Amino acid sequence: MRLVLLGAPGSGKGTQAARLKDHLQVPHISTGDLLRAEVAAGSPLGLQAKEVMARGELVSDAILLGMLEDRFSRADTRGGFILDGYPRNLAQADALDALLGRIGQPMDYAVQLEVPVELLVERIAGRAKAEGRADDSPESVRTRLRVYDEQTAPVVDFYRRHGQLTVVDGVGSLDEVFNRIVEAIAPEKAVG
């Protein structure tokens, strides 16, 4: 199963990917998590990315592609993967398509989690209190939502044109959303 989760900040991509990974037995590749690990490690890449991420803007396509190529060179991705946080603009969508073509692993599904903006803001505000992620401040959240609308939303049409898009309602309990995704991508693996 090769799957990409799409959706605005706070739509539940990371939360659902963590559950899908166990269910589908494939690795979860989150470019946000990979970048946060670089920042935490204080690596040169992390130092470049830190301020950009804190502002809620996109880190450069070149950095992301290098990171992704490196991740896909690892053996655990050969049986499939769940990608979360990439692609975030059309250039990244093209680069991913080319990369997956080169390694003979074309995408099976792009799942778009749909959540109204008021709920996105509410969820992120809840996490800001609980976890204090650097880019969850109100100003950065506004930037992340704008960047999503301007640069990432067109990626949804990219996958629609490629016949790979499934839209899932992201409002509801964690279990409800999870079951909707599983039914959309692999009904034979649905629970309950």
- Give whichever of 57 and 160 is closer to ligand AP5, judged by the CB atom: 57
The answer to the question of residue 180 lying near ligand AP5 (CB under 6 A) is: no
β pairing state of 109-114 and 165-169: parallel
Is 127 tagged catalytic?
A: yes
From the list 74, 127, 142, 146, the catalytic residue is 127
- Give whichever of 26 and 56 is closer to ligand AP5, judged by the CB atom: 56
Q: Which of residues 79-108 bind ligand AP5 (CB under 6 A)?
A: 85-86, 88, 92
Cβ(163)–Cβ(107) under 8 Å? no
The site for ligand AP5, by CB under 6 A, has a size of: 31
The answer to the question of residue 154 lying near ligand AP5 (CB under 6 A) is: no
The answer to the question of residue 112 lying near ligand AP5 (CB under 6 A) is: no
List the beta bridge partners of residue 4. 83, 110
Q: How far apart are CA 140 and CA 161, in angstroms?
A: 31
Is 161 tagged catalytic?
A: no
Phi, psi for residue 79 in degrees, rounded to 5: -95, 10
What tokens were used for 154?
């067109």
What does each C-alpha distance from 156 to 26, 69, 132, 170 come to in angstroms? 23, 22, 29, 15
Helices (H), 43-163: 44-55, 61-72, 90-102, 117-131, 138-147, 153-161
Is 144 tagged catalytic?
A: yes
What tokens were used for 47?
């130092």
Is 19 tagged catalytic?
A: no
The answer to the question of residue 123 lying near ligand AP5 (CB under 6 A) is: yes
- Sheet with 81-84, edge to edge strand ranges: 28-30, 81-84, 2-6, 109-114, 165-169
Only one of the segments 74-82, 97-105, 172-180, 181-189 lies at the binding site for ligand AP5 (rule: CB under 6 A); that segment is 172-180
Residue type, 186: A
From the list 19, 36, 50, 144, the catalytic residue is 144
In this structure, the chain runs to a length of 192
Residue choice 74, 78, 102, 127 for contact with ligand AP5 (CB under 6 A): 127
- Give whichever of 164 and 188 is closer to ligand AP5, judged by the CB atom: 164
Question: Which sequence positions are flagged as catalytic?
Answer: 13, 88, 127, 133, 144
Binding positions for ligand AP5, rule: CB under 6 A: 7, 9-15, 31-32, 35, 52-53, 56-59, 64, 85-86, 88, 92, 123-124, 126-127, 135, 144, 172, 174, 177
